[in-house]
Amino acid sequence: MNDNNGAGPPPVKILRPESTVTSEKFLRDKLISASSIFADLLRPTYGPKGLDKMLYKSNGESTITNDGAKIVSELMVKHPAAKSFVSLGESQESAAGDGVTGCILFAGALMHEAGLLINKGLHPLVIIDGFREACDIAVKKFDEVSSVYSDQELYNVAKTALTGKVTENVSDRIASLAIIALEQIQKTTICQSENFFMTKSSNNTPMSVELIRGYILEKKLHLDSTPKELTNCKVALINSELGFKDLVRDAEIEINSPEELSGFIYHEEQEVEAVSKKLTNLDISAVFTTGDINKNILHDLLSKNIFVLGGLESIDLENIALATGATICPRVIDLSPDELGNIGTIQTTTVSKNGEFIQRIKIDDCDSTKLITFDIGGPDDLIVEETIRSIHDSIKSVCLAVNTKHVLRGGGNPHSLASIEVMRSADAKDGRERLGMEAFSRALETIPATLAANAGKSSLDTVIELRSRLKDDCVDLGVDKNGEISSITEAKEPTFSLKNSISSATETVIGLLRVDQLISSRGD
């Protein structure tokens, strides 16, 4: 018999009691709310007048920054929509190195606009169709209004990435150094951000930035007799021990007579002498190796005023190879003159770090270097770390501009022009997807609106005036650093960065809008 009082068969449960299922409107409300909250968290940091966030980590360390990528990476979010936005920020940082905050602001605005349409009864798939079509129109507009960069515009790209950050007061000098570094790398290889390295200097002067045509590493020297300064050096790079390789397993050698012992010792001495002689005959001045160095070889090379350093990490050896043009050799016996590199100067200084003294080895003045190092100092680690992040963004933007050839104006100019173009296209549509296109157009205007609001101006008045004046063929207008509408001549950004930002944000929002159920095994 059925024991539930004639009410039909009991419900079938396929999930654990602690699992929860959130569906339809309530789910979308949660996703949209979480997206808006995440975007609002970054909104005050955007633009040249953006404010900073103080991040207090679980290990007791603190950071002060307005860099969107840094803030996103430090947030310990648990909401699915917020996690999607974190992934969006990481994707933009990886692809372009800058523009993370603007990307997330646009995605948040797009989610908000989608929420308004859903509340009016529009189906999410119709909104998605409108968003996709509008995104294509916006990207084409960016290509239309972009221009091939000039030397001055490349400098402006570097300077724009430094604006609104701790480096703003010295942005002219750092942007000039970035261009000098770029030109040096272009002489030897294709410009990539991986060809630039950042180190913390012991110099306590605020905003101290020195350009090194080479590499800097910190490590204890083996002996005090190691040369402290050398010039015009030939260098060898060895990816193994300098001497006898340590055995993986224990081994015993049975010696039955004094003659056998003498022969064994003699053979070992001959091997050591062969290694030293091989390096000496190559007329080298420096040797770097990842393995240990036999003490007899070490003493012999140092007695001939050869700089010797072992126990390096593989990444250090690879960076030295980029700087010097040397080829990393697995064995000394296979080393040839063609595999040697050249160093202009090697300088060694002693610095205090974490309560102990170590040596700072500066490899500089390498004529054919494929690696430029920015040696950055400051009064405290917080400022130095923020300076490093700013220079990294500047270098990444400049490399992107050089490799993709095209740049756009800043100040929300391309966003407003694309917004006008999308709205014009939407007016020609007669289906419901036009509502999605109009929403996309409004979302694009969140960028100039935020620039104006963070500068203390009315975002609504600014957007309306900018839209009106751009329609009158004043195509170079945007929001300047004071929140006023003016001709944008100095603020520049790579076209690829903005195209990637808008496309990635659109796809992230579309992915969230396609979700109709959230199944949580945690019950939250």
**Dist. CA 483–CA 493, nearest whole Å:** 18
Q: Count CB-CB contacts under 10 A for residue 403.
A: 12
pLDDT of residue 245: 61
Range 239-263 burial, b when 16+ CB lie within 10 A, else e: bebbbeeeeeeeeeeeeeeeeeeee
Q: DSSP assignment, residue 6?
A: T
- Would the pLDDT of 213 be above 90? yes
Euclidean distance between CA atoms 42 and 23, whole angstroms: 29
pTM of the model: 0.84
Within-domain flag for 187: no
192 in any annotated domain: no
Measure the CA–CA gap between 129 and 433, rounded to whole angstroms.
6
Q: Is 220 exposed, middle or buried (0-12, 13-18, 19+ CB in 10 A)?
A: exposed
Give Cα 42 to chain centroid, integer Å.
18
Which one-letter amino acid corresponds to residue 473? Answer: D
CA distance 44 to 453: 9
pLDDT value of position 358 = 87
288 and 431 co-located in one domain:
no
Instruction: In whole angstroms, give the CA distance from residue 400 to residue 233.
Output: 34
Distances (CA, A) of 381 to 209, 278, 373, 395: 14, 44, 18, 21
Residue 1: pLDDT band with limits 50, 70, 90: very low
Boundary-marking domain end, from 368, 390, 421 = 368
With bands split at pLDDT 50, 70 and 90, how would you rate the model's confidence at 31?
confident
Work out the pLDDT band at 94, boundaries 50, 70, 90: confident
Q: Which of these, 174, 252, 159, 164, lies nearest to 209 by C-alpha position?
A: 174
Based on the domain organization, do 442 and 328 belong to the same domain?
Answer: no
* Tokens 């994707």, located at residue: 91
- Which tens digit of pLDDT belongs to each residue from 353-398? 777 888 999 999 998 899 999 999 888 888 888 899 899 999 999 9
* Residue 294 token pair: 């036999």
User: Does residue 348 lie in a domain region?
Assistant: yes
Domain total for the chain? 2
Residues 139, 24 share a domain: yes
CA distances to 125, 408, 421, 425 from 428, rounded to whole Å, are: 20, 27, 11, 5
Please tell me the distance from the alpha carbon of residue 124 to that of residue 113, in angstroms, as a whole number: 12
- Helices 80-96 and 24-42: crossing angle in degrees, nearest 10, is 40
Same domain, 364 and 448: no
pLDDT at residue 64 tops 60: yes
* Structural domain boundaries enclosing 222: 214-245+259-368
Name the H helices within 167-281: 171-186, 258-281
pLDDT 10s digits, 185-198 = 988 888 888 899 99
pLDDT tens digit string along 401-448?
999 999 999 999 999 999 999 999 999 888 888 999 999 999 999 999
- Looking at residue 293, the DSSP 8-state letter turns out to be B
Decide if pLDDT at 215 tops 90.
yes
- Count H helices, E strands: the chain? 16, 19
Tell me the CA end-to-end span of the chain in Å, nearest whole number.
Answer: 38
The whole-number average pLDDT for the span 5-14 is: 62
pLDDT of residue 492: 93
pLDDT of residue 224: 87
- 361 and 413 both lie in a single domain: no
Instruction: Examine residue 67 and state whether it is found in any structural domain, yes or no.
Output: yes
Task: List, edge to edge, every strand of the sheet that includes 196-200.
Answer: 196-200, 372-377, 208-212
Domain end point (choices 368, 396, 426): 368
**Is there a domain that residue 109 lies in?**
yes
Average pLDDT of the residues in 312-326: 93
Task: Compute the mean pLDDT over every residue in the chain, rounded to the nearest whole number.
Answer: 87
Indicate whether 332 and 422 sit together in one domain.
Answer: no
Do both 219 and 363 map to the same domain?
A: yes
Is residue 458 one of the residues assigned to a domain? yes
Q: Which two tokens stand for residue 15?
A: 């999930």
Q: Is position 150 within any domain? A: no
Strands 208-212 and 372-377: antiparallel
Q: Residue 249's pLDDT band (boundaries 50, 70, 90)?
A: low
| 334 lies in the same domain as 469 | no
Q: How far apart are CA 251 and CA 253, in angstroms?
A: 7
Backbone angles phi, psi at 28, to 5 degrees: -65, -35
- Write down how long the chain is: 524
DSSP letters for 409-441: E-TTHHHHHHHHHHHHHHHT--STHHHHHHHHH
**465: exposed, middle or buried (Cβ count in 10 Å: 0-12, 13-18, 19+):** middle
Nearest by Cα to 304 from 282, 285, 287: 285
Q: What gap in Å lies between CA 375 and CA 215, rounded to an integer?
A: 9
Average pLDDT (280-284) is 88
CATH number of the structural domain spanning residue 225? 3.50.7.10
Residue 131: per-residue pLDDT: 95
* 450-504 per-position pLDDT tens digit: 999 999 999 999 999 999 999 887 889 999 989 999 999 999 999 999 999 999 9
CA distances from 126 to 121, 133, 139, 390, 439 (A): 11, 11, 20, 41, 12
